[in-house]
Structure 1
């Protein structure tokens, strides 16, 4: 089964929920960036969150960016997603290696350490919406839970997990975002808090091959889950040679002329998918002509 997101409601629409399976897209990102296991786990969690948060957006042209700048050895991560749950991203230091945490798990919190999470929503207005919070744990799910509560005033529970195989490929990846609506009754709130507190970890559910539907049933079954729809999600980068050419134009004629004078072709790398684009000296001359 390919990666997909399930959108649902529960408790007579007092709860809205999203759950995703993202193993394939996280593996694609791992291959594109040749990430270490801990970098794969961090990027995979943020990509999973990005795909679900992208699916929350209303307009087809809206874009979401999740950006983490941090003091830990991973240095930072950037993920972008659209309303169709196409998602892409990269880590600043894909080679980061750290010993396991006290629980014997990949220590994503230590890889990120202190930092800031920015959520940027470009909704086609003059200025994008930007919400920022400090990292509370660096484990990403808790940081997003805190972001929703403080920046969007939406009580939420975020769970994100990535499991690795012994050969460092991705075994499982996925997660959920469960949110309380403003009109949620106290009884529903306290029951939901209790239920979420009982969940050991999202990775244990993923390890037992739980689908997004099964995850939501496990968490929200007693509230009466109503599946609204499912949508595919994928790692997708819209870079092209034409788009890269526009980026070259933006650096200015003086710098392009210096590249031409060097007499060597240049290679431009896409941050998001790691594709390489070559431009010959003749192509660079053509870019200068067209930009006059």
Structure 2
């Protein structure tokens, strides 16, 4: 089954909901960055959350999620857009911690409990929108939930989950985001909260063969679920040799000449996808000529 996200309304429009199977998307990130199990779970959860936040945008509008905690993982950065495309990286991919006290992957131990959770939205306006909240748990799902409640004033429940296999590969990955709209009754909220408490992790439900649609039906605890859209999702990076060439030009003619003289070329590596781009002496000379207008 290819990765996809569903958007739905429930309770006569008072509840907006999203669920995603992002197993192959997270697996692609794991392979590209060679993440070890704890880092895989931390990056994977952030990718899943980023996908669902991105699904609230239109088409080419994009956002960046940055989690900068005090744990050994270092910064986690994820970019997504309204088309279901996501990319991301974790500063220290080789993190493998002992399981936590309940026998689960210790994402909090990797991320840390002090630091900032930032979302920057580029909606094609003059200035990007930026919201920032402190990290409240380091488990990532709760941090997305807190951000939405405080920064965007949307009461939400966000669940993000990654099942990592014994060989560090990704078994399943996915998540849900349930948002309560203004005017929703306490009864609706209580019903959903009760169901959330008794539902297994999303990665477990996916592993059992449940679809995002079935997961939402179960979580929302009502027959009144109206599915609006199904959207494919994927790990996709928009880097290119041309984009990195533009970055090299900003170094200036003198520094480019140094690269030619000392290194006889250059290599650029994309932080998001690990693609490598080679620039020969001739390539660098052409970029230098471009600066000098020759």
The normalised TM-score by structure 1 is 0.97
1:179 matched to 2:176: no
| Partner-residue secondary structure (3-state), 2:12 | coil
| Partner-residue secondary structure (3-state), 2:13 | coil
- Distance in 2 between residues matched to 1:219 and 1:263, nearest whole Å: 57
User: What's 2:217 paired with?
Assistant: 217
| Partner-residue secondary structure (3-state), 1:24 | helix
User: What's 2:14 paired with?
Assistant: 14
User: What's 1:291 paired with?
Assistant: 291
Task: Give the drift of 1:186.
Answer: 2.2
Map of 1:135-154 to 2, 5 A cutoff? Answer: 135-154=135-154
- Distance in 1 between residues matched to 2:161 and 2:289, nearest whole Å: 50
- Distance in 2 between residues matched to 1:115 and 1:207, nearest whole Å: 32
Structure 1: runs of 5 or more not aligned: none
| Partner-residue secondary structure (3-state), 1:267 | strand
Task: Give the drift of 1:255.
Answer: 1.6
- Distance in 2 between residues matched to 1:108 and 1:66, nearest whole Å: 17
Task: Give the drift of 1:265.
Answer: 1.8
User: What's 2:67 paired with?
Assistant: 68
When residues 195 and 37 of structure 1 are mapped into structure 2, their CA distance, relative to the original with a 3 A threshold, is same
| Partner-residue secondary structure (3-state), 2:47 | helix
- Distance in 1 between residues matched to 2:105 and 2:199, nearest whole Å: 20
Stretch of structure 1 that moved more, 235-244 or 197-206:
197-206
| Partner-residue secondary structure (3-state), 1:279 | strand
| Partner-residue secondary structure (3-state), 2:71 | coil
User: What's 1:259 paired with?
Assistant: 259
| Partner-residue secondary structure (3-state), 1:26 | helix
Task: Give the drift of 1:72.
Answer: 0.4
- 1:191-230 Cα shifts (integer Å, max 9, x gaps): 2222222224323322312110110011013251111110
Task: Give the drift of 1:71.
Answer: 1.0
Contact 2:191-2:221 within 8 A present in 1 as well: no
1:91 matched to 2:90: yes
- Distance in 1 between residues matched to 2:136 and 2:155, nearest whole Å: 16
- Distance in 1 between residues matched to 2:241 and 2:263, nearest whole Å: 20
- 1:136-172 Cα shifts (integer Å, max 9, x gaps): 1101000000001110110000001100122211100
Stretch of structure 1 that moved more, 147-156 or 255-264:
255-264
Stretch of structure 1 that moved more, 31-40 or 223-232:
223-232
Structure 2: runs of 5 or more not aligned: none
- 1:213-264 Cα shifts (integer Å, max 9, x gaps): 1100110132511111100000000111101101111222222121112152
Q: What root-mean-square deviation, in Å, do the aligned CA atoms of Structure 1 and Structure 2 show? A: 1.2
Task: Give the drift of 1:28.
Answer: 0.5
User: What's 1:204 paired with?
Assistant: 204
User: What's 2:104 paired with?
Assistant: 105
Task: Give the drift of 1:98.
Answer: 1.3
User: What's 2:233 paired with?
Assistant: 233
Number of equivalenced pairs: 291
| Partner-residue secondary structure (3-state), 2:168 | coil
- Distance in 2 between residues matched to 1:166 and 1:263, nearest whole Å: 41
Task: Give the drift of 1:76.
Answer: 1.1
Task: Give the drift of 1:177.
Answer: 0.3
- Distance in 2 between residues matched to 1:63 and 1:229, nearest whole Å: 19
